[in-house]
């Protein structure tokens, strides 16, 4: 809004006085002559500017009825029937509206929507105008300077201004209003004739008129943003824009002003004017206009956080002030916002893959180490099923009988007794090796009193071997497998082991213990492809003990103690 416009509004009625008087005289004569006349407008050609408000013309009949509907015909740009428009309805012209329209009486109307860039001298400010109430004013037709033809016809709504009861005249493309009233606000259309290739086009342009009061401001400006004593978050070492939006009451002589100040240390008496951009003004709303003032802090430093900032708006009535503070924004790094969900997703996916791949091992570990069998009241015929493959002795000395001492009684040294079971302790006092397959049945049955199931002894011959094995496992609380190189190469023995693993996976009242001898090692699991996959995976996680006959006495003692502990934790003694 410029002050020069308002000075023009003050002196303009002097020049309009003669125009208004002469026009009123001519208007009375013209009105008499136009009664009963009708213009032949059976085929019309109109042009509109894309994005501007447009209204299809209304046909004037002798009866005075003007309202009609224009419908798009099949020769439109889309090649099919289009929408319909009432002649008294405004709409924004678009390229898709180009086409031929007709009414029910056979009149045809062709509309061509052109781009703004094709006009050559398009001025967007011509499409909006403010007029002072109770004063004279003029409305220019947009683009009137782009053509030698300055004769235009003005319409407000669907009726020509010359046919309305109001003091006005038009000259050189300008519509002069002798006295502006509140009812003059709205959209005006100016039609200018253009002849191209023998076709007369009517170029229709729109002007939006806003009527504003002519009196000065009567109250202080209203600061709608920011709020008083509010705090804005900023990032250090980044630029920050301070926005102040103020509503001013209208005044003829503009005195509105908005400024940003920085108060050092919050001291209102120590103020410094900030560098500001050009204020931005919006349209009138209820006799007020909005002004937005921006001040830019190019680089926020910690010192800026110690100051306050005031927006002061002033007009002829007085000042309004709002003070704010700045605080540091806790910056959340973008990688953190994205990284945490991704990491969580990866962990969940990884855990799911591990569970899927290692589900068998996890089940065996849980059932072997963490789940106790509920065998109270469920009597079994055997405490343990012992599975082994007999390895022939390498010398005659190994065929000698084992004579372990009795390990009962309070006065017996258990460590000495168990150490005596080591085949290194012989009657001759020299080292000789006895197979573990000979020692375990003797110790478990004769010395510790457990009930063992030996397939070669306790299973009747002649039956199906697979059924005998499954039945023996069901009749036992525990399965002990003495693993050796010969054991892993024996298909029957491996079948017993595999059956025990499957039973362990299917029920909870079975415990499986592996004993590795010196003739077997974990490396045999990988080197023997004939072993079932189930057995290969289970041998890596099932509980086991290691036995080596050539180990020291202490190591041998630890083996027997671990074996007895495993037996006593699951079987009744």
Q: Say what the pLDDT of residue 508 is.
A: 61
The candidate with the shortest Cα–Cα distance to 407, out of 399, 394, 398, 416, is: 416
454 and 548 belong to one structural domain? yes
Q: Mean pLDDT: which of 73-77, 234-238, 521-525 is highest?
A: 234-238
273 and 165 belong to one structural domain? no
Query: What total of structural domains would you count in the chain?
Result: 3
pLDDT band of residue 146 (cuts 50, 70, 90) is confident
Instruction: Please state, in angstroms and as integers, the Cα–Cα distance from residue 545 to each residue in 364, 400, 482, 521, 565, following that order.
Output: 17, 25, 10, 12, 12
What is the maximal distance between C-alpha atoms in the chain? 154
196 and 259 belong to one structural domain? no
Q: Say what the pLDDT of residue 333 is.
A: 63
167 and 63 belong to one structural domain? yes
56 and 165 belong to one structural domain? yes
Cα–Cα distance measured from residue 91 to residue 206, given in angstroms and rounded to the nearest whole number: 11
Task: Kindly state whether residue 491 falls inside one of the protein's structural domains.
Answer: yes
Asked which of 273-277, 452-456, 512-516, 518-522 is least confident by mean pLDDT, the reply is: 518-522
74 and 146 belong to one structural domain? yes
Task: Kindly state whether residue 19 falls inside one of the protein's structural domains.
Answer: no
442 and 537 belong to one structural domain? yes
Q: Which residue has the tokens 């940003």?
A: 260
pLDDT tens for 429-441 read 333 456 788 888 8
Cα–Cα distance measured from residue 391 to residue 140, given in angstroms and rounded to the nearest whole number: 118
Instruction: Please state, in angstroms and as integers, the Cα–Cα distance from residue 65 to each residue in 58, 103, 164, following that order.
Output: 9, 14, 16
Q: Say what the pLDDT of residue 271 is.
A: 84
Q: Say what the pLDDT of residue 362 is.
A: 81
Average pLDDT over residues 298-312: 92
pLDDT tens for 474-490 read 888 889 999 888 888 88
194 and 233 belong to one structural domain? no
Cα–Cα distance measured from residue 191 to residue 276, given in angstroms and rounded to the nearest whole number: 43
206 and 283 belong to one structural domain? no
Task: Kindly state whether residue 472 falls inside one of the protein's structural domains.
Answer: yes
Task: Kindly state whether residue 396 falls inside one of the protein's structural domains.
Answer: no
Cα–Cα distance measured from residue 295 to residue 260, given in angstroms and rounded to the nearest whole number: 7
Cα–Cα distance measured from residue 174 to residue 319, given in angstroms and rounded to the nearest whole number: 40
| b/e code 100-120 from CB counts within 10 Å (16+ = b) | bbbbeeebebbbebeeeeeee
Cα–Cα distance measured from residue 193 to residue 45, given in angstroms and rounded to the nearest whole number: 10
Task: Kindly state whether residue 260 falls inside one of the protein's structural domains.
Answer: yes
Residue 484 maps to which CATH number? 3.40.50.10140
Note whether 117 and 95 are within 8 A (CB): no
Cβ count within 10 A of residue 182? 9
- Structural domain harbouring 61: 41-211
pLDDT tens for 9-61 read 444 444 445 566 545 444 443 333 333 333 444 688 999 998 889 988 887 66
Q: Say what the pLDDT of residue 462 is.
A: 74
Cα–Cα distance measured from residue 527 to residue 539, given in angstroms and rounded to the nearest whole number: 13
The candidate with the shortest Cα–Cα distance to 382, out of 460, 301, 445, 309, is: 445
Q: Say what the pLDDT of residue 308 is.
A: 93
Cα–Cα distance measured from residue 315 to residue 517, given in angstroms and rounded to the nearest whole number: 103
Average pLDDT over residues 67-88: 70
Cβ count within 10 A of residue 243? 13
| b/e code 60-94 from CB counts within 10 Å (16+ = b) | beeeeeeebebebbeebeeeeebeebebeeeeebe
Q: Say what the pLDDT of residue 239 is.
A: 92
Cα–Cα distance measured from residue 136 to residue 146, given in angstroms and rounded to the nearest whole number: 26
Q: Both tokens of residue 189?
A: 């259309």
Q: Say what the pLDDT of residue 16 is.
A: 47
Domain end among 211, 244, 267: 211
Residue 2 has pLDDT above 50, yes or no: no
Q: Where are the alpha helices (DSSP H) in 515-569?
A: 523-527, 533-538, 553-568
Q: Say what the pLDDT of residue 510 is.
A: 83
pLDDT tens for 155-164 read 988 888 888 7
Cα–Cα distance measured from residue 152 to residue 129, given in angstroms and rounded to the nearest whole number: 18
- In the predicted model, what is the mean pLDDT of the chain? 76
Residue 17 region, left (φ>0) first, then alpha (ψ -120 to 50), else beta?
Answer: alpha
Q: Both tokens of residue 3?
A: 């002050």
Task: Kindly state whether residue 564 falls inside one of the protein's structural domains.
Answer: yes
Residue 267 has pLDDT above 60, yes or no: yes
Rounded to the nearest 5°, which phi and psi values hold at 70? -100, 130
57 and 181 belong to one structural domain? yes
Domain end among 211, 231, 249: 211
Residue 322 maps to which CATH number? 2.60.40.10
232 and 181 belong to one structural domain? no
pLDDT band of residue 540 (cuts 50, 70, 90) is confident
122 and 229 belong to one structural domain? no
pLDDT tens for 185-234 read 889 999 988 888 888 899 999 998 888 777 677 788 999 999 989 999 99
Task: Kindly state whether residue 23 falls inside one of the protein's structural domains.
Answer: no
Task: Kindly state whether residue 141 falls inside one of the protein's structural domains.
Answer: yes
Average pLDDT over residues 495-524: 78
Domain end among 183, 211, 239: 211
């Amino acid at each position: 809004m410029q002050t020069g416009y308002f000075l023009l509004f003050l002196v303009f009625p002097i020049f309009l006085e003669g125009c208004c008087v002469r026009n009123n005289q001519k208007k009375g004569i013209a009105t008499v002559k136009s009664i009963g006349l009708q213009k032949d407008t059976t085929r019309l050609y109109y042009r509109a500017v894309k994005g501007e408000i447009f209204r299809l013309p209304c046909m004037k009949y002798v009866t005075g009825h003007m309202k009609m509907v224009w419908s798009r015909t099949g020769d439109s740009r889309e090649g099919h029937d289009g929408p319909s428009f009432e002649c008294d309805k405004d709409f924004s012209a678009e390229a898709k509206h180009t086409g031929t329209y007709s009414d029910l009486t056979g009149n045809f109307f062709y509309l061509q929507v052109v781009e703004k860039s094709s006009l050559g001298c398009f001025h967007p400010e011509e499409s909006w105008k403010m007029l002072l109430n109770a004063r004279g004013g003029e409305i220019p037709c947009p683009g009137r300077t782009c053509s030698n033809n300055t004769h235009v016809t003005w319409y407000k709504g669907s009726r020509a201004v010359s046919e309305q009861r109001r003091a006005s005249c038009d000259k050189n493309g300008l519509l002069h209003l002798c006295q502006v009233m509140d009812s003059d606000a709205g959209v005006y259309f100016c039609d200018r004739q253009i002849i191209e290739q023998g076709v007369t086009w009517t170029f229709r342009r729109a002007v939006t008129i806003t009527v504003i009061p002519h009196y000065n401001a009567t109250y202080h400006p209203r600061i709608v943003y920011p709020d008083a004593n509010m705090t804005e978050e900023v990032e250090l070492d980044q630029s920050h824009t301070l926005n102040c939006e103020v509503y001013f009451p209208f005044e003829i002589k503009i005195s509105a002003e908005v400024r940003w100040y920085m108060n050092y240390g919050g001291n209102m008496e120590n103020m410094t004017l900030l560098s500001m951009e050009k204020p931005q003004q919006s349209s009138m709303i209820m006799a007020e206009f909005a002004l937005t003032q921006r001040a830019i802090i190019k680089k926020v430093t910690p010192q800026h956080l110690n100051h306050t900032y005031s927006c002061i708006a002033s007009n002829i009535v007085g000042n309004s002030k709002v003070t704010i503070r700045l605080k540091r924004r806790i910056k959340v790094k973008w990688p953190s916002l994205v990284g945490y969900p991704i990491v969580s997703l990866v962990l969940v996916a990884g855990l799911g893959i591990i569970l899927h791949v290692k589900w068998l091992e996890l089940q065996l570990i849980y059932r072997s180490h963490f789940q106790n069998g509920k065998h109270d009241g469920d009597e079994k015929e055997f405490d343990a099923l012992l599975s082994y493959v007999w390895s022939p002795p390498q010398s005659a000395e190994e065929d000698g009988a084992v004579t372990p001492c009795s390990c009962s009684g309070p006065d017996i040294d258990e460590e000495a007794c168990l150490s005596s079971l080591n085949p290194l302790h012989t009657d001759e006092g020299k080292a000789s090796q006895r197979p573990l397959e000979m020692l375990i049945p003797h110790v478990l049955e004769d010395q510790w009193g457990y009930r063992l199931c030996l397939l070669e002894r306790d299973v009747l011959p002649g039956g199906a071997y697979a059924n005998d094995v499954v039945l023996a496992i069901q009749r036992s609380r525990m399965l002990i497998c003495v693993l050796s190189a010969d054991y892993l190469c024996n298909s029957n023995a491996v079948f017993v082991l595999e059956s025990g693993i499957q039973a362990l996976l299917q029920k909870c009242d079975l415990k499986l213990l592996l004993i590795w001898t010196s003739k077997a090692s974990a490396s045999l699991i990988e080197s023997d492809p004939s072993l079932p996959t189930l057995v290969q995976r289970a041998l890596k996680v099932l509980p086991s003990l290691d036995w080596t006959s050539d180990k020291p006495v202490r190591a041998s003692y630890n083996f027997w103690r671990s074996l007895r502990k495993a037996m006593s934790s699951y079987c009744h003694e």
